[in-house]
Amino acid sequence: MEFWKEVRREVLTNELSQRAACQKYGLGWHTLKKILTHAEPPGYRLQQPRKKRKLGAFVPIIEQILEADREAPKKQRHTVRRIFERLRDEHGYSGGLTMVSMAVREWRQSRKEVFLPLSHPPGEAQVDYGEAKIKLNGQETSVALLVMTLPYSGAIFVQAFPRECTETFLEGHRRAFEYLGGVPRRISYDNLAIAVIEVLKGRERKLTNEFLRLQSHYLFREHFCLVRRANEKGHVERLVGFARRSFLVPVPEVDSLETLNRQLLERCQQDLEQRTRGKPASKRELLAEDRAAFLPLPKQTFESRRITDGTADSQSLVRFDTNDYSVPVQYAHRKLLVIATVEEVRLVFEDRLVARHWRSWERERTFFEPVHYLALLERKPGGFDFAKPLEQWELPDGFALLRRRLEADDPRNGTRSYIRVLRLLEKFSLSQLTDAVEYALDIDVIDADSLRTIVEHRSDQPVPLFALDGRPHLAHVRVEITQVSAYQALLTEVTP
């Protein structure tokens, strides 16, 4: 560059003539003209591509192979070496691997997709799932991260769930809307199976009932990306990785997902103080503009649940999500509705709630409610000590004493009488029955009927002392009301 500058200065300021400059610096005439024309060396400029003497005839074959790869599975597409081997073995190519590699690279670069920057007005959101590892009660566990972002403000909402499914999808939306203080008018998604039954022409979709129920409650508009066009929601795609790197490093060690989710909400709040590159204000300030464009939250709370059919088997168990949950034995062999949320499983027969269990996210587990099997055990008391549903059932000490005394008083029917007492748990809480049992033991009245009377009258909602339940023949008995005034005459009689 220094030589270039000196030649130009001397000639263009008339210190040297062009002929003298050629003689002084040993330049050719065309070289001097180039120096005087350009303020800096223009570099080597190839007028036309060099001919590939060995590879040129094989370029169309390379392009044909790469085009065909677009339809092949990703893990079974040609590598550069495999293309080279095919050219050599099938087509007689005599050149080297490097030339083939350069041709493949040029082809791929020329076909890389260019994306159009999108405008994001206030009040729009994007949703996606991600995966992360945590230590839950000391064990490494995979969790599904539901992430909702607002591209205008850059605000982010993250929650961790045991798995990606309908219940967590719905619950994640409910929590996100409550956290953000409103409902985005338009939300962008992938074509995830939780929401989309079938991808139709263009952007038309056949949607699941649960997604439609979510929309009907919150009234937002959906936007599903074109197939294999996740860049249409690139904001949330980037922030899923951001949340994993920023909120979950180092790997969290927690005792429950509730604890982790509280920590994630705190991190989301802290992130609002940041400013996104190119934005005029912090995320918190821009979030106010997003909220101004939101739809209001509905007054009625949305229930994040999934409903499916189930059938109770011969052991009075209903299978849902690989796990078995018990129902009372009178519903064995019957069809029921399973209503599942993130936290519980409810089992309904016709219009009656017959069982409720905590939701398990493990696999192939069985969950018994001992009370469900007491009616069967009353008919088959011999199986009481061997019944699997009662294996882990821990009752207060007074119950064991009650059983011993009942069996001592009546060795033949004592166990059945004890089961009749336990069946009171079908209507009363364990604490209520425990109080009644302790009182009955104190007053030495331990038969099942007496205990029933005691617990009924010690409960918060007492029933009449005498009821006609189980005594239909007494329903027709009529007792005349006593006229107390008739006894007044006795007071006026004179005793002889």
Give the pLDDT confidence of 125-157 residue by residue, as tens digits: 999 999 999 999 999 999 999 999 999 999 999
Res 117: pLDDT: 55
Q: What percent of the chain has pLDDT over 90?
A: 59
Burial 105-129 (b: 16+ CB within 10 A, else e): eeeeeeeeeeeeeeebebbbbbbbb
Per-residue pLDDT at 492: 63
Instruction: Give mean pLDDT, residues 191-206.
Output: 87
Q: Could you report the per-residue pLDDT of 341-389, keeping only the tens digit for each? A: 999 999 999 989 999 999 999 999 999 999 999 999 999 999 999 999 9
**Of 334 and 50, which is predicted with more confidence?**
334
Indicate the residue type of 103. Answer: A
For the cut 80, the answer to whether the pLDDT of residue 324 exceeds it is yes
Largest Cα span, the chain? 173
Position of tokens 């994001």? Answer: 120
Provide the token pair at 72: 């092949």
Quick check: 337 pLDDT over 70?
yes
10 Å CB burial of residue 50 (0-12, 13-18, 19+) is: exposed
Residue type, 38: H
Give the Cα separation of 241 and 125 in Å (integer).
17
pLDDT score recorded for residue 491: 67
pLDDT-derived band at 191 (thresholds 50, 70, 90) equals: confident
Lowest-pLDDT range of 398-407, 412-421, 444-453: 444-453
Per-residue pLDDT averaged across 238-267, rounded?
A: 92
| Most confidently predicted of 47-56, 219-228, 407-416, 451-460 | 407-416
CB atoms within 10 A of CB 216: 9
DSSP structure class, residue 433: H
| Residue 92: pLDDT over 60 | yes
Q: What is the mean pLDDT of the segment spanning 417-446?
A: 92
Given a cut of 90, is residue 302 above it in pLDDT? Answer: yes
Mean pLDDT (the chain, rounded): 88
pLDDT above 60: residue 238: yes
Question: What are the tokens at 481?
Answer: 């009301």
Residue 425 has pLDDT above 90, yes or no: yes
pLDDT score of 16: 87
Q: How many CB atoms lie within 10 A of CB 247?
A: 21
pLDDT in the model for residue 478:
74
List pLDDT tens digits, range 434-477. Answer: 999 999 999 988 888 889 999 988 776 555 555 555 556 666 77
The SS3 assignment for 344 reads: strand
Please tell me the least confidently modeled range out of 120-124, 244-248, 334-338: 120-124
Which tokens in the block code for residue 164?
């990606």
Average pLDDT over residues 205-218: 94
Tell me, yes or no, if the pTM score tops 0.75: no
Q: What region does 28 belong to: left with phi over 0, alpha with psi -120 to 50, or beta?
A: beta
Residues 439 and 224: their CA atoms lie apart, in Å, by: 65
Confidence at 239, pLDDT banded by 50, 70, 90: confident
Q: pLDDT at residue 100 above 80?
A: yes
pLDDT over 80 at 312, yes or no: yes
| DSSP code, position 16 | S
Q: Give the pLDDT of residue 475.
A: 66
What is the identity of the amino acid at 77? Answer: R
